[in-house]
Amino acid sequence: MLGIDEIVTGGLCIGCGLCKSVAGAECIRMVTTPGGRERPVAVRPIPDEALATINAVCPGTQIEGARPETLPDDVETDPIWGPAVPSTLAIAHASDPVVRHRGAAGGVLTALGQYLLRSGEVELVLHVKASPDAPLRSLATVSETPEAVLEAAASRYGPAAVLEDLGGVLARGRRLAVIAKPCDIGAVRRLAEVDDRANELVRHCLTLACGGASDLGKSLDVLDRLGVREKDLRLFRYRGHGNPGPTRVETKDGRRFDLTYQEMWGDEAGWRVQSRCKICPDAIGEAADLVSADCWPGGAPEGEDEGFNAVLSRTRAGVRLFERAVADGALTVVRAIGFRDMDLFQPHQVRKKRAVWARLEGMRAAGMAVPKVQRLRIAELAAGNDEGVNEEEMLGAQQRASAGRLGEPPAGKGQVREERPEEKSAKS
């Protein structure tokens, strides 16, 4: 069993906040580290039972694919992309032009969140939005209306502890959908195995394909480049309002800056992606009911378009939702696709899925703890790699781990969450 500090220093924490929800705010606080990561800190000893539950549900310790009993009869499991029903693989977008425009890509996740509320299937949608007071930061939010779901549309690439009050949300006793990153969704699924409320109330888990969550430092660097202080921000939108839409920065005194997707993300070395993301065995949401992804051939946009998503429906609940949303006009299907189209849209996911087993072996060889991975086919995929690939990945991970580059410093009690804007203003 790993302690919270060991999960963090071992580079396994992604900052979802579920451990805080499990142990309670009196035991665990989430802080923003100086490197710009959301991390848990134990402020008093965590009872053994709570720590055991955390180890069973934390996405740093356990990572699992879909539960077979949730999958429909006509599901096909692709070695890379996992389970999905081939007849529902599609390029699609929100039918509402406003949702399509404001969504990260085609607005599919927003349209589905709205559809679930309108149809009464769920009463709440748990997801993420920009903090109203500090728009560089991202907060968990519970939407009860389609308008509120739209308010939280589009991607938040920085840290977002979406599950830190999941217990509080479940205590409301209302049916809900969760829209979040694949690692967050995996954590919700495992919680449902040990918490009857989660099993009963979480009716849909929707996710995105995920290239990794950046440190907040990535976004602070952008502000520094533009000469903007965080406390002066009125808006920080990573994308959306187009596909991909500009990264838009607006200040309270009326200055406005737009960065293209290429300006923001063109240099992969500058993404400042968290350690857990580099060894992520499931960045494509195999535990979710449905996945909405970008669908640019080659993996990057060549310009702006009207907004499209590649959609994979995995479970019975996901297939039913997708088909009903299309039939009722919430989603528009443009064309059918196959798994090999997904390879073309997401070449980075294909590379990572094939490399992860060897990276984990490299960490293990360096004496680091690794998550328990189940039903994600990573060993089988590695076995099919060209000669030398696994050795190279393993050695690289072992060397990075031995040099301390896959771990991170412990988060400290003295670290804070929302005070960074004042820190920045004091500096400048």
Residues that bind ligand FAD (CB under 6 A): 103-110, 113, 127-129, 138, 152-157, 160, 162, 179-181, 184, 208-211, 213, 240, 292-294, 309, 346
Place of tokens 């389970």: 83
Rounded to whole angstroms, the Cα distance separating 292 from 295 reads 9
Counted residue by residue, the chain has a size of 428
Is residue 407 part of the contact set for ligand SF4 (CB under 6 A)?
Answer: no
- The three-point CA angle 6-9-10 to 5° equals 75
Give the range of 14-22, 105-113, 390-398, 404-412 binding ligand SF4 by CB under 6 A: 14-22
Provide, rounded to whole angstroms, the least separation between the CB of residue 413 and ligand SF4: 16
**Span 27-66, contacts to ligand SF4 by CB under 6 A:** 40, 54, 58-60
Pick one of ligand SF4, ligand FAD, none as the site partner of residue 14 (Cβ within 5 to 8 A by kind): ligand SF4
Is residue 283 part of the contact set for ligand SF4 (CB under 6 A)?
Answer: yes
Is residue 128 part of the contact set for ligand SF4 (CB under 6 A)?
Answer: no
How do beta strands 90-94 and 331-336 pair? antiparallel
Give the CA radius of gyration of the chain. Answer: 20
CA dihedral 221, 223, 227, 231 (to 10 degrees): -130
Preceding omega of 297 cis (within 30 degrees of 0): no
Distance of CA 326 to the CA centre of its chain: 25
Provide, rounded to whole angstroms, the least separation between the CB of residue 211 and ligand SF4: 7
Contact indicator for 77, 89 with CB cutoff of 8 Å: no
Task: Give the one residue of 277, 363, 368, 370 binding ligand SF4; rule: CB under 6 A.
Answer: 277
Residue of closest CB approach to ligand FAD: 211
Pick from 54, 201, 34: nearest CA to 123:
201
Rounded to whole angstroms, the Cα distance separating 46 from 4 reads 9
Pick one of ligand SF4, ligand FAD, none as the site partner of residue 356 (Cβ within 5 to 8 A by kind): none
CB atoms near residue 48 (< 10 Å): 9
- Which one-letter amino acid corresponds to residue 44? R
Contact indicator for 166, 199 with CB cutoff of 8 Å: no
Sign (positive or negative) of CA dihedral 328, 70, 184, 363: negative
Is residue 370 part of the contact set for ligand SF4 (CB under 6 A)?
Answer: no
Task: Give the one residue of 159, 212, 307, 362 binding ligand SF4; rule: CB under 6 A.
Answer: 212
Beta bridge partners of 141: 127
Pick one of ligand SF4, ligand FAD, none as the site partner of residue 106 (Cβ within 5 to 8 A by kind): ligand FAD
Task: Give the one residue of 181, 190, 272, 420 binding ligand SF4; rule: CB under 6 A.
Answer: 181
Provide, rounded to whole angstroms, the least separation between the CB of residue 219 and ligand SF4: 15
Provide, rounded to whole angstroms, the least separation between the CB of residue 216 and ligand FAD: 12
Pick one of ligand FAD, ligand SF4, none as the site partner of residue 280 (Cβ within 5 to 8 A by kind): ligand SF4
Pick one of ligand FAD, ligand SF4, none as the site partner of residue 109 (Cβ within 5 to 8 A by kind): ligand FAD
Per DSSP, the chain holds a count of helices (H) and strands (E) of: 18, 17
Q: Which residues bind ligand SF4 (CB under 6 A)?
A: 4, 7, 13-19, 40, 54, 58-60, 181-183, 210, 212-213, 276-277, 280, 283
